[in-house]
């Protein structure tokens, strides 16, 4: 089945643009999948500054039974697409990754780019039966000498039950 990386009806801010250089790992807020047919998280990277050009960034998707950090969190496989530089309408191919996530490469590679993660709630339930929350997690690799990591995240939900008002999809 091809990834459903299209338009969604509920847009949920998960992380306002912020410098997360001191947060290791950086992470979005949780997206509640209770009323979702499909969902996605868009992680936008702005200025990335590293002491070395070899530092890398690992992006993973985590599911949980709660909206707060706890012992139930588990990394799950996902599909993603990565954008070209800001100002272009070019996106890479849909790519499957394991629970190990995807390395975005050296710090100069993903500066000013976005990654959209496709989420199938049924796959989340298959991994952890009582999980209903997901969040994106990015962890610096290499020597981790990032001095600036500007990032933001937005969730998109295709709701099960259409209505005239948005369902609550945040935690």
pLDDT band at 152 (very low <50, low <70, confident <90, very high): very high
Q: Give domain status of residue 79, yes or no.
A: yes
Percentage of the chain modeled with pLDDT above 70: 83
Q: Give domain status of residue 12, yes or no.
A: no
Q: Give Cα separations from 132 to 94, 105, 106, 127, 170 (angstroms).
A: 24, 30, 32, 11, 11
Q: Give domain status of residue 7, yes or no.
A: no
The model's pLDDT over 95-151, given as tens digits with 9 standing for 90+, comes to 999 999 998 876 667 788 899 999 999 889 888 888 999 999 998 876 667 788 889
Q: Give domain status of residue 130, yes or no.
A: yes
Percentage of the chain modeled with pLDDT above 90: 40
**Which structural domain, as residue segments, surrounds residue 117?**
23-159
pLDDT at 5 > cutoff 70:
no
Answer whether 26's CB lies under 8 Å from 62's CB.
no
For residue 107, the model assigns a pLDDT of: 61
For residue 1, the model assigns a pLDDT of: 42
pLDDT at 79 > cutoff 60:
yes
Q: Give domain status of residue 5, yes or no.
A: no
Q: Where are the alpha helices (DSSP H) in the chain?
A: 121-127
Split into its structural domains, the chain has a count of 1
Average pLDDT in the 69-86 region?
A: 86
Q: Give domain status of residue 14, yes or no.
A: no
pLDDT band at 46 (very low <50, low <70, confident <90, very high): confident
For residue 53, the model assigns a pLDDT of: 73
CATH number at residue 120: 2.60.120
Q: Give domain status of residue 133, yes or no.
A: yes
Report the half-sphere exposure of 146 (CA within 13 A, side-chain side).
27
pLDDT at 94 > cutoff 90:
yes
Q: Give domain status of residue 113, yes or no.
A: yes
């Amino acid at each position: 089945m091809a990834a459903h990386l299209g338009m969604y009806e509920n847009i949920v801010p998960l992380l306002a643009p912020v410098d997360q250089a001191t947060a290791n790992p950086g992470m979005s807020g949780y997206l509640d999948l209770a009323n979702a047919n499909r969902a996605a998280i868009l992680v936008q990277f702005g200025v990335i500054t590293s002491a070395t050009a070899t530092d890398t960034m690992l992006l993973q998707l985590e599911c949980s039974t709660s909206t707060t950090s706890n012992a139930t969190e588990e990394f799950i496989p996902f599909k993603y697409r990565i954008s070209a530089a800001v100002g272009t309408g070019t996106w890479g191919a849909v790519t499957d990754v394991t629970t190990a996530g995807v390395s975005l490469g050296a710090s100069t590679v993903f500066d000013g780019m976005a990654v959209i993660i496709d989420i199938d709630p049924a796959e989340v339930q298959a991994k952890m039966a009582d999980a209903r929350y997901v969040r994106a997690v990015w962890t610096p690799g290499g020597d981790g000498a990032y001095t600036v990591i500007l990032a933001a995240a937005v969730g998109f939900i295709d709701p099960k039950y259409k209505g005239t008002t948005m369902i609550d999809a945040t935690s």
